[in-house]
Amino acid sequence: MRGPIYLALLFVVLVGLALTGSARVVEAAPAVRSVPATGVAITSMTAHGIDVAAIPTFTQSLAGGLAAGGLNVTGLSKVQAALQPHAGLQGCETAVCLKSIGALLQVPLCGKATVEMSGTTTFRIEVVLTASATGKQIARVERRCDLCTLKEAREALSQAAVDAAKKTAGIPGLVPPARKVRTAPQRRRTLARRVVPIPPPPRYRIEDRGKSLRLWGLVGAGAGLASLIPGIALLAVDGNVKSSDCDGRRCLYDTKAGGAVLTTVGVLAIAAGTGLFIYGLIKKRTKVPVNITVGIDPRGSLFVWGQF
């Protein structure tokens, strides 16, 4: 009876050892924190001496090389579509424009490439990466491909893009420019101000100051004329014989002194009256009353307004 029991126990032990030996302890792999790739926007792809139909393939080679170098690429077509509402940014490569493009697309880098073909088999390739926040050049790679076909030139462009992308690794501060967020305008608190209304300007009143002078001039001239006529008459009859006898004697008119006085007074009066009349004509002018107002305008500023 003990034999079968021992065999059963031995079978159980062997099965347990087999299961223990085949079991693998699986340890949880440490969590790897994923770092987002740095974004780059392709702003231009310039090709000289190359058929226009081949330029899109070079653009794809540039984007593929930047992506292979660890960058998150925004293709040239997407960049152009995003810049459609912003015509001023299209084709602009100044620091101000690159900052606006980086803020619009939320990318810290802007990339461009130039491919120049000399002859039929020589290519000069240049890839430039620029920080959109500062406009400073971060990486620049040049390649020369001699005796190359278009395919080999595209491969050289991709490799140059990879090398340029790797140069950006470890550079601190590669962050996209901040977008300008428009907020609703805040209402400003204003203090109550005392407003003094500005009175309307007074009406202009024309006053003829020479009227009285002209009047006195006419009076003086008239009085002078009234004195001048008798004076001339007296001077005219001076020394003439009277028509009637003076007690049987011959009498003469003696009016020289009176005529001279009246004539002199008349001439002086006419001259004075004429002078006053002429001065009265010159003295005509507009009289504006003086009006000064002091107060506070609606903006709270003190003002002094006057008219003279």
Q: Number of structural domains, the chain?
A: 2
Is 31 part of any domain? no
Point out the residues of the chain with pLDDT beneath 70.
Answer: 1-36, 173, 175-209, 241-253, 284-308
Amino acid 134 reads T
Q: Are residues 46 and 147 in the same domain?
A: yes
DSSP calls for 123-191: EEEEEEEEETTT--EEEEEEEEESS--HHHHHHHHHHHHHHHHHHTTT-TT--PPPP----PPPPPP--
Has residue 11 been placed in a domain?
no
Query: What pLDDT sits at residue 24?
Result: 45
CA 13 to chain centre: 92
Q: 161: phi > 0 → left, psi -120 to 50 → alpha, else beta; which?
A: alpha
Q: Indicate if 217 and 133 belong to the same structural domain.
A: no
Report the distance separating Cα 140 and Cα 13, nearest Å.
69
Q: In the prediction, which pLDDT does 27 show?
A: 42
What pTM did the predictor assign? Answer: 0.47
| Structure tokens that stand for 94 in this block | 């100044």
Question: CA angle, 176 as apex, 173 and 181 as ends, to 5°?
Answer: 130
Same domain, 152 and 247: no
199 is a domain residue: no
Nearest CA to 85 out of 64, 105, 71 is that of 105
Q: What is the pLDDT of residue 23?
A: 42
Distance of CA 219 to CAs 213, 225, 226, 285, Å? 10, 10, 10, 23
3-state DSSP of 240-264: CECCCCECCECCECCCHHHHHHHHH
Chain CA centroid to CA 181, Å: 21
Residue 227 near residue 265 (C-beta atoms within 8 A): yes
| Residue 268 domain boundaries | 211-283
